[in-house]
Amino acid sequence: MTTPALTALIDFSQPQGGAGQRLRCAFGAPLRVLQADAPAQVKPLLEQVQAEAQAGRWCLGYVAYEAAPAFDAALRVHAATGPLAWFAVFDRALDWPLDCELPPGTADTAQRAQEPQPPAKARWGAGPERVAFTRDIEAIQSAIAAGDCYQINHTAQLTGELLQGSALALYAALRRAQPGGYSAWLDACERQLLSVSPELFFDWDGKRLLVRPMKGTAVRGATPEQDQSHADALLASAKERAENVMIVDLIRNDLSRVALPHSVKVPRLFHLEALPTVWQMTSDVTADSRPGTTLADVFTALFPCGSITGAPKVQAMRLIHELEPVPRGAYCGAIGVVQPGGHATFNVAIRTVTAQGQALSCGIGSGITSGATAEGEWQEWRHKRAFLDRASEPFELLETLALADGVLRNESEHLARLQRAANHFGYALDQMALRASLDQLVASHPQGLWRVRLLLDAQGRVQAQAFAMEASPAEVTLALADQPFEAAQSEFVRYKTTRRAHYEAAAAAQPGLFDAILWNGQGELTECTRGNIALQIDGEWLTPALSCGLLDGVGREIELREGRVREAVLRVEDLQRATGLAFLNSLRGWIPARLA
Catalytic amino acids?
199, 215
**Residue 11 burial by CB count (10 A; 0-12/13-18/19+): exposed, middle or buried?**
buried
**Closest of 490, 473, 470 to residue 385, by C-alpha:** 490
The Cα–Cα gap between 355 and 167 comes to: 7
Which residue(s) pair with 528 in the sheet? 517
**Residue 18 burial by CB count (10 A; 0-12/13-18/19+): exposed, middle or buried?**
exposed
Output DSSP code: residue 385. Answer: T
Render the burial of 241-250: b for 16+ CB within 10 Å, e for the rest.
bbbbbbbbeb
**Closest of 265, 277, 166 to residue 222, by C-alpha:** 277
The Cα–Cα gap between 588 and 402 comes to: 8
Q: What interhelical angle do 554-561 and 411-425 show, nearest 10?
A: 120
**Closest of 107, 105, 95, 117 to residue 29, by C-alpha:** 105
CB 178 within 8 A of CB 273: no
The Cα–Cα gap between 396 and 533 comes to: 25
CB 584 within 8 A of CB 553: yes
Q: Is 147 helix (H, G, I), strand (E, B) or coil?
A: coil
**Closest of 305, 323, 86 to residue 189, by C-alpha:** 86
Residues 6+ apart with CB under 8 A from 450: 402, 403, 404, 466, 467, 468, 469
**Closest of 23, 100, 88 to residue 58, by C-alpha:** 88
Query: What is the β-pairing status of strands 32-36 and 85-90?
Result: antiparallel
* Three-class DSSP labels, 514-542: CEEEEECCCCEEEEECCCEEEEEECCEEE
**Closest of 117, 366, 332 to residue 239, by C-alpha:** 366
CA–CA distance from 78 to each of 63, 319, 329, 478 (Å)? 15, 12, 9, 55
From first CA to last CA, the distance across the chain in angstroms is 66
**Closest of 178, 185, 169, 167 to residue 11, by C-alpha:** 185
